[in-house]
Structure 1
Amino acid sequence: MKIDIISGFLGAGKTTIIKKMILEVFSKEKIAIIENEFGEVSIDGLLLKDSNINIREINSGCICCSMVGDFKLAIKEIINKYNPDRILIEPSGVAKLSDIIKSCKEIEEISINNIITIIDVLNYNVYLQNFGEFYINQIKYAKTIIASNRENMNKNFMDEIVNSIKTINNNCNIITSSLELINTYNILNMSQKQDDNIEISRKFNIKNVKHFKKVKKHKNYNITSNIFKSWGIETLKCYSKLKLEKIFKSIEKSEKYGLIIRSKGIVKSQEGKWLEFHYTLGKFKIKNIDNQRIGRIVIIGQNINKEELESLF
């Protein structure tokens, strides 16, 4: 059974890549997805369900820690129930890629095919400096790395990011082309040609990584540990695009809500349509989507003030 792992830090664009792969490459294959979200409220599972794919969700943790048993059980359940041609694994954005690979190698029925990590280049240096080994782990064990959120990035800045990535993992493919201009068939083809012999015990010294001037000024993010919390709700409340933009401007400017690193949601608009939104440090995107049964909002970060967030939303 083929396994493809699509990894990446919070908000890097994993679900977007998976939807593109299903459309361009896997449309004729029988696909199943293991969707591992951090927190109680699932968003990505809803966004993928319109692809008519069998989805098994693991919530409230990440595969790399207390959920390992659930992960192995989910793999075996999918094989026995659906017998797919391929399983796509989208780990939580706070999972260590080396642990995902290790868990997969302990399951006899499967073999790892592709290991892809999505990197948010807008926040690359901020995350690299603040998350250290945790963030680097997702880069170090990838076969292929895809740069996302690269709009308006000049060539010199992209070259610096590529050089920094090569310092961490000199054996991977690095794709910096705009995703609109590249077919995911080519991405998968390149990834599969890489060496499958991945040593989980590889050592790495963060001091060897080159840090460079950030492309955009941020406030001083004091991210000192890998402990994240989440807050989420299901809601029938209606929002306008302007209202949501104001909410996330408030979140970015004020520390009273906590350090919010990632948010995503599906909500009903005041015009009766449905909106999908995504927030990462310094970036907010929103678009119209098909009708949904209920709205969902999830917030991930550190020192989250749930009372303040409840009053905000």
Structure 2
Amino acid sequence: MCACGPFGPYAFSGKSCSIGDNFMKILVISGFLGAGKTTFIKALAEKTDKKFVVMENEYGEVGIDGVFLASGTGQAEMKVWELTEGCICCTMKADFASSILTISNTLDPEYLVVEPTGLGKLGNILTNISQIQYERIVLLQPVTVLDVPAFDRDKEKYPEICRDQIENAATVIFTKTGALDAEELCRIASEVRAMNPQGEIVTDSCEKKEASWWNGLFERYLTKEGEENAKKREREMLQPDLENAGFTSIHLESGNQLVLFLQGVVSGVFGDIRRAKGYLPAGGAWLRFDVVDRNYSITGYEGGGDSRAVFIGRGIHRRELEEVLCPEEKNLMGKAEKMREVQMRPLLAGK
């Protein structure tokens, strides 16, 4: 296991600030697409005694994680505020500021946890929040969730975003490390340490952390020096050239058909899809799916309600996705043809 230091880049003294409970304290949980931010927030709710509101920023046209967050946590009724179709670090900056003030003035929570889109620059987000801070809103030290197996790819494809999210974090949480050997883990930890010399880097499972560590995330405040650091590191935001397509009221006929569909998604049948997620009825069961790059997963889902999915990438074939996912009878023939194409794609690729 790599030895990583416990100090953040914001000259945090190790003591909690003497700020009263009538302040709304904002904790930003950053991380690239599919890193595990939503799962981390659910764990945060389950492992702490804090009650908080979540602001969920989805790059896609429809929100997916809001319902997932609100169900099955330690908080009976977690309040989730969703902002979709944009990024709060740039295109939705004004809506973001307005929403924070609205949450503060109406819901008046002690804590607000902000989950930005994976494409957002943490430095920009911290700057945007600092511009509306007043005597009742303060920033906590931010966290970045890092998808370790995807680190090299993300660093190559989106270097500015990857570096920004690591540099501006007080704590970097490694996820999905199970398949990595110790040498590879230490190599990546060393690269992260070079980007963020003083931040806390958690390379082992944070599930093993004591309750005091989890609660401590709500007790460490971003200092004035930290705000200046974030402003200095802020760069001109160039939004990656990514499209998104969102669908509601979708279904498939069986779990096997969902597997076949996702195989098509990761093999490029529906375009260069970088990230996808959703939940839908498939036969007699509700299922939730996640796609990150060329990997997908399927789990059970108990939420029910309106089914939905969002796809993010380049050259997305929206109409063909709709042919497969749309429940109308007029599209059943197109769905069957597309499924046959999905089945044939691996065979054709092998020629």
TM-score in terms of structure 1 length: 0.86
Cα distance, 1:142 vs structure 2: 0.5
Sort the Cα spacing of 1:162 and 1:194 in 2 relative to 1 into closer, same or farther, 3 A: farther
Q: Which among 272, 278, 295 is matched to residue 259 of structure 1?
A: 272
Q: Which among 244, 247, 253 is matched to residue 258 of structure 2?
A: 244
Q: Which among 167, 177, 182 is matched to residue 140 of structure 1?
A: 167
1:125 is aligned to 2:152: yes
Q: Which among 310, 315, 320 is matched to residue 308 of structure 1?
A: 320
1:96 is aligned to 2:87: no
Cα distance, 1:277 vs structure 2: 1.3
Aligned residue number for residue 214 of structure 1: none
Tell me the distance in 1 between the aligned counterparts of 2:162 and 2:85: 20
Sort the Cα spacing of 1:92 and 1:114 in 2 relative to 1 into closer, same or farther, 3 A: same
- Deviation sequence 1:138-180 (CA, Å, 0-9, x none): 1110010111111221111110110111111111111111244
Aligned residue number for residue 292 of structure 1: 304
Superposition map of 1:57-76 within 5 A = 57-76=82-101
Q: Which among 191, 196, 209 is matched to residue 182 of structure 1?
A: 209
Deviates more, 1:177-186 or 1:65-74: 177-186
- Deviation sequence 1:62-112 (CA, Å, 0-9, x none): 101121111111111111111111010011111110111001111223111
Q: Secondary structure in 2 aligned to 1:238?
A: coil
Is the 2:27–2:218 Cα contact (8 Å) retained in structure 1? Answer: no
- Where in structure 1 do 4 or more consecutive aligned residues deviate above 4 Å? 190-195, 201-204
Cα distance, 1:187 vs structure 2: 4.6
Query: Percent of pairs identical after alignment?
Result: 29
Tell me the distance in 2 between the aligned counterparts of 1:242 and 1:177: 35
Is the 1:241–1:286 Cα contact (8 Å) retained in structure 2? Answer: no
Tell me the distance in 2 between the aligned counterparts of 1:237 and 1:311: 11
Q: Which runs of 5+ in 2 are unaligned?
A: 1-23, 326-351
Q: Which among 12, 15, 23 is matched to residue 46 of structure 2?
A: 23
**Equivalent position amino acid for 1:200 in 2:** A
Q: Which among 193, 201, 209 is matched to residue 166 of structure 1?
A: 193
Cα distance, 1:236 vs structure 2: 4.1
Is the 1:63–1:91 Cα contact (8 Å) retained in structure 2? Answer: yes
Cα distance, 1:250 vs structure 2: 1.8
Sort the Cα spacing of 1:111 and 1:234 in 2 relative to 1 into closer, same or farther, 3 A: same
Aligned residue number for residue 295 of structure 2: 283
The RMSD of aligned alpha carbons is 2.3
Tell me the distance in 2 between the aligned counterparts of 1:283 and 1:228: 19
Is the 2:266–2:295 Cα contact (8 Å) retained in structure 1? Answer: no
Sort the Cα spacing of 1:308 and 1:115 in 2 relative to 1 into closer, same or farther, 3 A: same
Is the 1:266–1:277 Cα contact (8 Å) retained in structure 2? Answer: yes
TM-score in terms of structure 2 length: 0.77
Cα distance, 1:248 vs structure 2: 2.1
1:269 is aligned to 2:285: no
Is the 2:127–2:231 Cα contact (8 Å) retained in structure 1? Answer: no
Cα distance, 1:226 vs structure 2: 1.4
**Equivalent position amino acid for 2:48 in 1:** V
Q: Secondary structure in 2 aligned to 1:170?
A: coil
Aligned residue number for residue 200 of structure 1: 230
Cα distance, 1:284 vs structure 2: 1.5
Deviates more, 1:233-242 or 1:55-64: 233-242
1:14 is aligned to 2:44: no
Cα distance, 1:194 vs structure 2: 8.1
Sort the Cα spacing of 1:236 and 1:66 in 2 relative to 1 into closer, same or farther, 3 A: closer
**Equivalent position amino acid for 1:282 in 2:** R
Q: Which among 16, 19, 27 is matched to residue 4 of structure 1?
A: 27
Q: Secondary structure in 2 aligned to 1:290?
A: coil
Q: Secondary structure in 2 aligned to 1:117?
A: strand
**Equivalent position amino acid for 2:60 in 1:** G
Is the 1:264–1:299 Cα contact (8 Å) retained in structure 2? Answer: yes
Tell me the distance in 2 between the aligned counterparts of 1:239 and 1:144: 43
Tell me the distance in 2 between the aligned counterparts of 1:116 and 1:168: 15
- Deviation sequence 1:212-244 (CA, Å, 0-9, x none): xxxxxxxxxxxx971211111012423533322
Sort the Cα spacing of 1:245 and 1:182 in 2 relative to 1 into closer, same or farther, 3 A: farther
**Equivalent position amino acid for 2:69 in 1:** L
Tell me the distance in 2 between the aligned counterparts of 1:82 and 1:153: 43
Higher strand share: 1
Cα distance, 1:202 vs structure 2: 4.3
